[in-house]
Each structure stands twice: as structure tokens, then as C-alpha cells.
Chains A and B, each alone.
Chain A
Amino acid sequence: MSTGNVPWIKDDQREVTRVCAQTGVMLLQHSAESALAESMARRLGLALGMDAVEIALMANGITVSTIQAGRCHTTVRRNLDRGINMHVVTEVQRTILQVEENKLDLAGVARRLDAIKPSRYPRWLVSVMAGLSCAAFARLGSLAAGSEANIGTFVLTFVASGVAMQVRQWLALLHFNPLVNFTAAAFVATSIAAQGVICPWVDRPKVAMSACVLLFVPGFPLINAVSDMVKGYINTGISRGVMAVLLLLACCCGIVLAMTVWNAWTWL
């Protein structure tokens, strides 16, 4: 028996299985929810002429089987987390919608999927926006509590979270583990905000302390975890939820470390 192509599986079925697996993995890697990854991979296979496409999702991998005329072809791909990127998710989905409208053939899909490059916003812009977001959170928090804070509190929050976001992006660029990354960045954010407690030029340092770390709340993984579980993908939901809680705990370590170093226990 030859170790090359298995003769009873046609080459285009093999190729369809490959693009289905690639679609599923690209969606999972960029933090799409499991239901989307599964339905997109299935719809792509059906649109390319398969009789059935079966997909099993695991916490860090995907198995795809295509069935055509009673013949079955299965492949497994490993899923490495590439970070949240909605641009990739949108592009992959639009490619598959084009296939369903018969505007793209098999070779075209493979070309389009390979050509998708994750686009990113300029790092300084993201940092500025993260700083503004946390300053807005500080204002929203005092709005809900019906209290007031002076402009110094918001400026301190802006600086603390903007610098922390810059640190976080820089460490992510150096391929540090996200847990290490979040601990270090939360330490930086709390250290800067703690200066408001030490030198009392800010009237509500507690607001700044709690608002400046809000950019580290893993909102996307938390929401994905619950919606995966609601839609029946319990195992991917649990793994995403555990990762989100670990990221929160990592931030917590950074905050406690900073509060210990500066002796500013204002949180509770």
C-alpha cells in the first residue's frame, strides 16, 4: 500500500476537508464563538458539494469529516490562540457567503482564506482609546453611585490605563504568556494610580484605582464562555471560562503586588 494519496478518496474531497478545517480553525483562533465556527465550516463544505460535514470541537483542536457518496475523509487541526480579531472573523464569513452565492469556487476559497491577514489598529491609538475608556468607566461609576469626582481623578485614570495598555501590547509583541502579561500590566496600572493615594492631589483615588484596571477584564472570553455553554458547547465553554477566570486572577496578583509595594490598600 502506498503512503501517498489514498486512492479511493477523490482529490477535491480532500481539498474541501482542508478548507473546512482551515475555516473552523481560523474562526476559533480569533475568538469566534463555537457555534459560529462549526456552522461556518459545515456550510462551506455543503456549499462545495459534500453530502454531509461533521465537526467535533475540542478545547484546543478541531476535527472535520466530510462525507461524499458514502466516502468519508477526516482531518484534525490544532487550535493555537491568536488573540481576538473581529476583522479576520468578518473576512472569513464573507468568503463563505460568497461561496454560497456561487461567486467563488474551491480554488478561490483556498486563495481568499490564505490571503486574509489579521489587521490591527496602531498601538498608540489603542492605548489612547483604552485610557479614554477607563476614564469614561470612572465617570460612569460615579454617575451610577450619584457622587462627584474632580478632573484629576479622570486624568490619573487615563494615564494609568493608557500606559498599562502600552505595556500590555509591548509584552504581547514579545510573545509573553498572557497571564504574565496581564500581571505585569495590572501592576503598572495600579502603581500609577496608587500615586494618587500617596500624594493627595486627587480627590477620589479609590475611583481611579478601581477604574484603571477595568481594561483587563476579559469580557470577550467571559461572554463567549457563557454563550458557548448556552448553545451546548460545554467543553469549549468551560475551557474559555477557566482561561478568563485565570486572566482575572493574574490581574488580581498584579494589583495586590502593586498595593503591597506602595502600601496603598484602598480597594476594599
Chain B
Amino acid sequence: MVMNIFYTVLQDFGLAAVPAVGFAMIFNVPKEALKYCAVAGAIGHALRFSLYQIGPLPIEWSTLIAACVVSVIGIYWAQKWRAHPKVFTVAAIIPMIPGVNAFTALLAMVDLERKGFSQELLKTAIDNGLRAFFIIAALAVGLAMPGLLFYRRKPVV
């Protein structure tokens, strides 16, 4: 049982590195920084996965904690590598972006227009839209957290 959970988290770790690198290439992150994006993306997603799937936390709070951790790692590398932390961290949190929720909310709204009002569709739209909004807010606030708490009057790099 424990091995099974460990294997699932490990699989999550490996899989999350792929979109982190893929999106880092879409954002034209310099070649030397791609490995940082991969590692930070994998750590963030696997941490969130363990916090809300195995641990007791809701997904929004797990996302906030994971984004904070990614941001701290990003600041450490940014100071070593002399670049803004967002260069690594945004690509690293892309695997956590609630894309399916966002699209489901919008498509439910389209369906509301197409089929007419129904409670079920409205529920789908609001549930998914709110979830997407809160997760994105948690990601951005989590990334900003070291700046808000420790780097208040001084720049990171």
C-alpha cells in the first residue's frame, strides 16, 4: 500500500516535469534554465498531489503551499543564476493551472445559451469557474509570498 502511494507520487513527479519543460520552451526560457523549470515543476506538482490526494488539505490550500515552495526554490536559483525568479517559476507552476476547470466553466456557459437555462449547467459553470479562479489566485499569491514576507523593501536579484 505504502509502495503503491510512493509509486503514484513518483509517477506524478515525472509526468509534471514534461509540461513544465514544454511550456518553458513556449515561453522561450533560455536553454540553461530548462532543467530548473523541470525540477521545480515536478516538485511543485508532486507536493500538491501528495497534500490533497494523500494528505487532508483542500486543493486550493495545497496549491498555495506548493506555489510558495516553488517560489522559494526559484529565488534560490535566481540569485545563483542572476535572473528574475519568474523566469523559472511561471513555467514550473503551469502543470498546476486548472485548465480543464476553466474550459469546462466557459463551455457550460455556452451550453446554457444553446440549450436554455438549467440548474445543472449553472452549477457546473459556477463550480468550475470558482475553482479555476481560486486555484489561479493561490498560484499567483503563492509565487508572490516570499516577496510579500521577506523581500519587502529590497529586490530579489
CB within 8 A of B86: which of A33, A121, A222, A249?
A33
Query: Which chain B residues (91-138) contact chain A, with CB distance < 8 Å?
Result: 91, 93-95, 97, 99-100, 102-104, 106-108, 110-111, 121, 124, 136-137
Q: Which of A's residues lie within 8 Å of B, judged by CB? A: 31-33, 36, 39, 43, 84-90, 93-94, 97, 118-121, 125-126, 129-130, 132-137, 139-141, 143-144, 210-211, 213-215, 217, 219-220, 222-223, 225-227, 230-231, 248-249, 251-252, 255-256, 267-268
CB neighbours (8 Å) of B40 from chain A are none
Contacts of A118 in B (CB 8 A): 28
The contact of A144 among B49, B97, B155, by CB within 8 Å, is B49
Query: B residues within 8 A CB of A231?
Result: 144, 147
In the complex, what residues of B have CB within 8 A of residue A135's CB? 18
Is A219 a contact partner of B90 (Cβ separation < 8 A)? yes
**B107 and chain A: residue at smallest CB distance:** A267
- Complex alpha-carbon distance, A33 and B33, angstroms: 19
Task: Write out the residue numbers on chain A whose beta carbons fall within 8 Å of the beta carbon of B57.
Answer: none
Q: Chain A residues near B18: list those with CB within 8 A.
A: 129, 132-133, 135-136
| Shortest distance between the CB of B93 and any CB in chain A (Å) | 7
Q: Is A252 touching B28 in the complex (CB atoms < 8 A)? A: no
Q: Assuming A32-B86, A217-B97, A219-B94, is B143 touching A130 (CB within 8 A)?
A: no
- Residues on B lying within 8 angstroms of A by beta carbon are 8, 11-12, 15-16, 18-19, 21-30, 33, 45, 49, 53, 82-84, 86-87, 90-91, 93-95, 97, 99-100, 102-104, 106-108, 110-111, 121, 124, 136-137, 139-141, 143-144, 147-148, 155, 157
List of A residues within 8 angstroms of B27 by Cβ: 31, 84-86, 220
A176 to B33, CA, bound (A): 30
Determine if A97 and B82 form an interchain contact, defined as CB atoms under 8 angstroms apart.
yes
- Name the 5 nearest CB pairs between A and B, nearest first: A133-B22, A226-B140, A217-B99, A133-B19, A136-B18
Secondary structure of the A contact surface, majority rule: helix
- In the bound complex, residues from chain A placing their C-beta under 8 Å from that of B103 are 210, 213, 217, 248, 251-252, 255, 267
A219 and B157 contact, CB distance less than 8 A? no
Which residues from A are CB-within-8-Å of B94? 219
In the bound complex, what is the Cα–Cα distance between A136 and B19 (angstroms)? 7
Give which listed residue, A87, A129, A137, A220, contacts B21 with CB less than 8 A: A129
Report the minimal beta-carbon distance from A229 to chain B, rounded to whole angstroms: 8
